[in-house]
Each structure stands twice: as C-alpha cells, then as structure tokens.
Amino acid sequence: MKAAVFHAPNQPLTIEDVEIDNPGPREVLVRTSVAGLCHSDLHFIEGKYPTPVPIVLGHESSGIVEKVGRDVTYVKPGDHVITCLSVFCGHCEFCLTGHMSICQNPEVKMLPGKAKRLRWKGEHLNQFTNLSSFAEQMLVHEHAVVKITPDMPMDLAALIGCGVITGYGAAVHTAKVEPGSTVAVVGCGGIGLAAVNGAKIAGAARVIAIDKDPAKLDLARAFGATEGVIAGEDTAKKIMEMTQGGVHYSFECIGLKQTTELCFQMLRPGGTATIIGMIPVGTKIELHGPDFLRERRIQGSMMGSNRFRIDMPRLIEFFQQGRLPLSQLVSGRLKLSQINEGFAALQKGGVARNVIVFDQ
C-alpha cells in the first residue's frame, strides 16, 4: 500500500510502498477513505513533540472495514467506521469510572514504537497513535473504531474522529458548560469551531469567538458564536469589559503559553479555563497566584473526555439535523501526493481543515 512516511522534524513526508500485516486477534483492517490534516500531526512534523521515526502519521480518519481478526465481534467487512486514537480497554479503572479517553492499558493503547503492524523496506515502521491514517490501509484494535451509517459522507465523518470530538467534548464533557452561561473560545480552527458549536449545543447564552483572522470569526458565527473579537494585546481587558467581570468558561484551542494564560485571565470568579491545544514540550505556564482565591480553575482536556462510540453517532445526528455545519469545516480535498502542500497551508494559516481523500 501507499503511505506518507515521516523521517525527521522539518523534513517533507515521502510517499512510499509500505507493508501491513493481516489482522490478528481483536484487530481490524480498514481501507482508509479520508484522513484529516490536524495541527497535532504538524506539532510532530515541526519537532515540538518527540516520536520514534520513521513513522506514518495521521489520526483523524474514516474508512471501510476490509478484514477482521479472530474474536472481533463489533464490526464486519463492509462496515463504515470512524477511527479514534482514544483506544479503550473497557475494564481498567479509567474505563470503569467513565474516563475512557485516558485509558492507559498497553494491551490496546500501545506506547510509541511498540506496535509491530507496519514494515518499510523489510524493517519495522512505527505506527502513530495506534492508527497511522496517512496510508491506504490501517490495522487497528477493534476498540479504535466506531460504526457509522453508510449515508454519512466520509470526508465529513473523518473530521469527527479528532477535531470535532475534541472541541465538542471539551465543552460538553470536560467543562460541562451550563445553559445560560458565557463562554470564550480562543482560536477558531477546526477544534475551536467545534468547541463553539459544543457550547451552543450545551445551551450557552453567549459564545465569544477570539481569533486574529476575521474570516475565522465569520465562520465561528456559523457554528454558533454570538460575538467575535479580534485577538490583540488588550483581549483580556476587552473580554472583562464585554462580560462585566469575565466568562464562566474559556477554551484554549491553539496550544500556546500566552493564549493559555489569556484563558485564565478572562475568567470571572468561579470560572473554569479548559486547555485543549497541545502546548509544546517544556513550556511553562505562568498564572497569578491570588486569582485562585476566587475559585478560578484551569484544567486540561484529552480528546474532549470522549465516550466516542456514544458521542460520534450523536454528532452525526447533529449534522443530519443541521445543528453541526460540518461541510464548512473542509477547506480543501487533496490527494496523498499533496500531503506536504496541505501541511504547508496549515502552517501558513487561514484553513479550518484540509483532508486527504483516498481512491476507493
């Protein structure tokens, strides 16, 4: 099969002929339909996060089941699925207490370099987040997929696999946005737009979108933002004035030190800042200690604290009801051979999500 192989930070991905195993027990072979180009992949390409190389990146995808291994009961060949890096075991402490997105069981969520499913030039090729969707096929645990209806467009379904579930889940599950509350979302890329939409679905009275790009603020309004603010040095002051004391909930959707601190600064007493973006390794966040005395909180969110086999079908229903404008998230559809151009566009900015569409 063809796959995009990542060799070293700040080097272009190369399209290579790669071998993939047949499915073993509890494993599923998926023919990749669409893979999204996510900022998380870009963090690894830029060297902000370490990973064993060579490796096939990609983690936001949809596809069709081709083969299943022994003991697989959830899917069969021909099923349409969305993948998710939140592979769960179903029986550890995290899973049994409803925190499946942070399951750590190495039986299903193998550590970097441990999965032995891919080969290139006869040598081991690393699998990214137990998925590696920048390839024509994926070999995954059955607990890494969710079945979807065949009438769901595959390019839009892929977006649900990471960006949409992460932003939506951060608002609905991690922060538990309450009806009538005021929300601020910093960064209106794919994840930020999903957080805006999640806050709207949760019943927030005001959803303030914050970004440097006016076009993204216009897009945020289509996802449910009630107001838009151009980011600048006085953003925190502006939000405090607009809300007469700060927001109940803020969401950081970029992964920067300054925007993380901004999210905490714009909280009202008792407010909660949820950090979704991947902050580079080694970055330290500075907060004003006395602000905690007014019960302001800051927390992280992993993949929107999702229960993806429940959440993703619900998100498809929201799309079909017209409550989730997924079509507006797709900035461009590319071939696998254009993957480096897609990431260059992501670095430049101004796109919500480019997707790789594979020939079926």
**pLDDT mean over 181-193:** 96
CA nearest 196: which of 251, 145, 259?
Answer: 251
CA nearest 183: which of 66, 245, 267, 93?
Answer: 267
Which residues are annotated as catalytic?
Answer: 38, 40, 43, 59, 162
pLDDT value at 33 more than 90: yes
Q: Tell whether 7 and 121 lie within a shared domain.
A: yes
Within the chain, residue ranges assigned H as helices are 39-45, 93-96, 154-159, 165-169, 190-202, 214-222, 235-243, 257-265, 308-320, 339-348
Structure tokens at 106: 């190495």
| Residue 348 in domain | yes
CA–CA dist 211, 241 (Å, integer): 18
> Residue 141's domain is classified under what CATH number?
3.90.180.10
CA–CA dist 38, 55 (Å, integer): 16
CA–CA dist 163, 38 (Å, integer): 8
| Residue 169 in domain | no
Provide the 3-class DSSP secondary structure of residue 143.
helix
Helix, strand and coil percent figures for the chain, each rounded to 5: 30, 25, 40
Q: Tell whether 103 and 199 lie within a shared domain.
A: no
Q: Tell whether 194 and 92 lie within a shared domain.
A: no
Work out the number of other CB atoms within 10 angstroms of the CB of residue 263: 31
Domain that holds residue 121: 2-162+305-357
Q: Tell whether 9 and 154 lie within a shared domain.
A: yes
One-letter-per-residue 3-state SS of 189-251: CHHHHHHHHHHHHHCCCEEEEEECCHHHHHHHHHCCCCEEEECCCCHHHHHHHHHCCCEEEEE
Q: Tell whether 117 and 6 lie within a shared domain.
A: yes
CA–CA dist 169, 256 (Å, integer): 20
User: Mind listing the pLDDT tens digit for each residue in 93-130?
Assistant: 999 999 999 999 999 999 999 999 999 999 999 999 99
CA–CA dist 172, 32 (Å, integer): 29
Neighbouring C-alpha atoms within 13 Å toward the C-beta of 135: 31
Q: What is the mean pLDDT of the chain?
A: 96
- When pLDDT is cut at 50, 70 and 90, the band that residue 13 belongs to is very high
Provide the 3-class DSSP secondary structure of residue 271.
strand
Q: Tell whether 126 and 258 lie within a shared domain.
A: no
User: Mind listing the pLDDT tens digit for each residue in 49-97?
Assistant: 999 999 999 999 999 999 999 999 999 999 999 999 999 999 999 999 9
User: Mind listing the pLDDT tens digit for each residue in 275-291?
Assistant: 999 999 999 999 999 99
The set of residues, in sequence order, having a beta carbon less than 8 Å from that of 288 and lying 6+ positions away, is: 265
Structure tokens at 46: 């830029």
Q: Tell whether 294 and 315 lie within a shared domain.
A: no
pLDDT value at 165 more than 60: yes
Q: Tell whether 80 and 100 lie within a shared domain.
A: yes
CA–CA dist 89, 109 (Å, integer): 8
Contact between 65 and 79 under an 8 Å Cβ cutoff? The reply is yes
Contact between 338 and 354 under an 8 Å Cβ cutoff? The reply is no
Q: Tell whether 129 and 35 lie within a shared domain.
A: yes
Q: How much is the CA Rg of the chain, to the nearest whole Å? A: 20
> Residue 250's domain is classified under what CATH number?
3.40.50.720
pLDDT value at 360 more than 60: no
Residues forming a β-bridge with 10: none
Q: Tell whether 11 and 144 lie within a shared domain.
A: yes
Element (H, E) at 139: strand 137-141
Query: Would you say how long the chain is, in residues?
Result: 360
CA–CA dist 344, 340 (Å, integer): 6
Residues forming a β-bridge with 87: none
| Residue 167 in domain | no
The total number of structural domains in the chain stands at: 2
Q: Tell whether 23 and 71 lie within a shared domain.
A: yes
pLDDT value at 331 more than 80: yes
Contact between 51 and 112 under an 8 Å Cβ cutoff? The reply is yes
Residues forming a β-bridge with 355: 36, 333
What pLDDT does residue 351 have? 82
